Structure 1
Amino acid sequence: MYRFLLTPRWLALHVVVLLVIPAFLLLGQWQFGRFEERSASSDQVTTNLAAPPVPVRELTSPGGTVSPRDRHRAVTAAGTYDTGASLLVRRRTQDRMVGFYVLTPLTLADGTGVLVNRGWIKAGATADSVPPVPPPPSGEVNVTGRLRLSETEESSGIRDRAGLPAGQVLLIDTAAIGRRLPYRLLGGYVELTEESPAAASAPAPVPAPDVGGGGGLNLAYSVQWWLFIGIAVGGWAMLIRREAADRRAAAASASPTGPDPGLDPGSGPGHPDPAPDPGSVSERSPVR
């Protein structure tokens, strides 16, 4: 009954199902791996945001890099803003509007510096117009902020290019910006959350990162791929059962189920002649 499973059409279906199962399994595992990675990163960022601030020199050094595990860690620094080296970072969105980050180096007592993202300002009326930028506090300033990694094209998804207006950049690339300055910069940069003394007017603070998701969408995708395996196997089994049932029904309808329709059921061997109907035979009078 199940020899039809060895026909070319069914063999092709078996191959498709056998290829789909491992493919869906690997896709589910990949999404689950992304979920675990993002959950771990979210937990690390949450811990860093809640940790007490430490001096920035404890987590980075001149010409060095920031470890990913120290991302968003609260740090402190004291120094003087180098207003002449301020930069505007283009194409930064906040509150659903495009604008600039205001990036100003803070020179430290040991002669090094650290980049400080002082906040966000709305873009001007045209792409080339420069909006007014609130100046930083003068003199020595104590800043507190979140430590961030230096940006690259790969990490930010922003493609750098030349020919920008003077004083503007697309990436907060500490190494590239440091080559323009007469002092060495610490690796990474600080996203300002508080400064003392405070400026009379300041750019809008950059919001803290949203760590609520934790890769939940990746978990849903992984479960979805694994459910597709059950759907594929269940559909394959259902098609086999339906084909077998159809073949059984066809075989049953093709086999004889009763006597030959051309044969009189009341005649033939083993059947006595029927008795005559008494009402149909005329009585004959005796012959005299």
Structure 2
Amino acid sequence: MYRFLLTPRWITLHIVVLLIIPAFVFLGQWQFGRFEERSADSDRVTANIEAPPVALSQLAVPGQRVEDDDRFRTVTVTGTYDAEGALVVRRRPQEGRPGFYVLTPLVFGDKQAVLVNRGWVKAGPSADAPPDVPAPTTGQVTVTGRLRLSETEESSGLRERAGLPPGQVLLIDPERIGKALPYQLVGGFVELTEQQPAAATAPEPVPAPDVGSGGGLNLAYGVQWWLFIAFAIAAWILLIRREVAERKASAAPESVAVSLRDT
């Protein structure tokens, strides 16, 4: 009754099922791994945002990159804005609106500075037109903000290009930007959340990062792939049982006919 399982058509089906099962196991494990990574990253970012502020100098110094574990840590720094070194960062939409980030060096200590993202402004009538940017506060200020990593083409998905209008950049890259400045920039930059004294007029604040569900979708996808394994096995067994039932049904009339002839 089960010899049909060794026919070429069924052998092909067996091979397909045996290939599908390990493939789905691998895809499920990969999604579970992504879930663990994203959950850990979400927890770290949340903890950094909620942690008490620390001095910028504890986490970022000239010539050294900001550690990944310190992303979005709240820091404070006191200095004076260099309005002449200010830049705007292209291709920074906010709430679905095209615009720019306003980037201004804050000078402190002995010829050191940090790039401060003071916020967002809407785009002008064209991409190359300079946007309206509120002037930075004059005199000494204390900035509190989220510490961010330097941007690269890989991390941002943006490609640097030459020929931009004066005062515009595509990436917040302190190493590259600092080559045109008379002081050293620390690694990373600060995303402003508070300033004392407060500015009379200021760009729109940059929203806090959305830590999301911590990889919840990856967990759901992992479970889904493993459910597909059960479905594949169940379908395989169901096809075999249906084939057996059909063969028994087709064999029954022949058995009746043989019995009638014998009688």
What TM-score, normalized to structure 2? 0.96
What amino acid does structure 2 have at the position aligned with 1:144?
T
Q: Percent identity?
A: 66
Equivalents in 1 of 2:86, 2:3: separation in Å? 79
- SS of 2:27's partner is helix
Equivalents in 1 of 2:56, 2:200: separation in Å? 25
Residue in structure 1 matched with residue 109 of structure 2 by the alignment: 109
Residue in structure 2 matched with residue 49 of structure 1 by the alignment: 49
- SS of 1:200's partner is coil
Residue in structure 1 matched with residue 217 of structure 2 by the alignment: 217
Equivalents in 2 of 1:130, 1:167: separation in Å? 9
Q: Compare the two structures and name the one with the higher helix fraction.
A: 2
What amino acid does structure 1 have at the position aligned with 2:260?
P
Distance 1:60 1:7, change over 3 A: same
Residue in structure 2 matched with residue 185 of structure 1 by the alignment: 185
Residue in structure 2 matched with residue 30 of structure 1 by the alignment: 30
What amino acid does structure 2 have at the position aligned with 1:235?
A
Equivalents in 1 of 2:135, 2:203: separation in Å? 9
Larger Rg: 1
Equivalents in 2 of 1:17, 1:260: separation in Å? 44
Alignment of 1:16-165 (within 5 A): 16-165=16-165
Q: Show structure 2 runs of 5+ residues with no match.
A: none
Show CA shifts across 1:142-161 (max 9, x none): 10000000011111111221
Residue in structure 1 matched with residue 260 of structure 2 by the alignment: 259
Structure 1 stretches of 4+ moved >3 Å? 256-261
1:260, distance to aligned residue in structure 2 (A): 4.3
Equivalents in 1 of 2:260, 2:241: separation in Å? 32
Equivalents in 2 of 1:226, 1:259: separation in Å? 52
1:49, distance to aligned residue in structure 2 (A): 0.8
Show CA shifts across 1:155-190 (max 9, x none): 111122111111111111111111111211100000
What amino acid does structure 2 have at the position aligned with 1:20?
I
Identify which range, 233-242 or 245-254, moves more after superposition.
Answer: 245-254
Equivalents in 1 of 2:178, 2:55: separation in Å? 21
Equivalents in 2 of 1:7, 1:206: separation in Å? 65
- SS of 2:89's partner is strand
Equivalents in 1 of 2:75, 2:205: separation in Å? 16
Q: Supply the RMSD in Å over aligned alpha carbons.
A: 1.3
Show CA shifts across 1:90-112 (max 9, x none): 01011210100000011112211
Residue in structure 2 matched with residue 226 of structure 1 by the alignment: 226
Equivalents in 2 of 1:163, 1:217: separation in Å? 41
Residue in structure 1 matched with residue 9 of structure 2 by the alignment: 9
Count matched residues.
262
Equivalents in 1 of 2:56, 2:28: separation in Å? 40
What amino acid does structure 2 have at the position aligned with 1:35?
F
Equivalents in 1 of 2:239, 2:81: separation in Å? 73
Equivalents in 1 of 2:161, 2:221: separation in Å? 36
Equivalents in 1 of 2:48, 2:138: separation in Å? 30
Equivalents in 2 of 1:120, 1:207: separation in Å? 10
What TM-score, normalized to structure 1? 0.88
- SS of 1:94's partner is coil
- SS of 1:97's partner is coil
- SS of 2:260's partner is coil
- SS of 1:43's partner is helix
What amino acid does structure 2 have at the position aligned with 1:110?
D
What amino acid does structure 2 have at the position aligned with 1:200?
A
1:259, distance to aligned residue in structure 2 (A): 3.3
1:56, distance to aligned residue in structure 2 (A): 0.4
What amino acid does structure 1 have at the position aligned with 2:55?
P
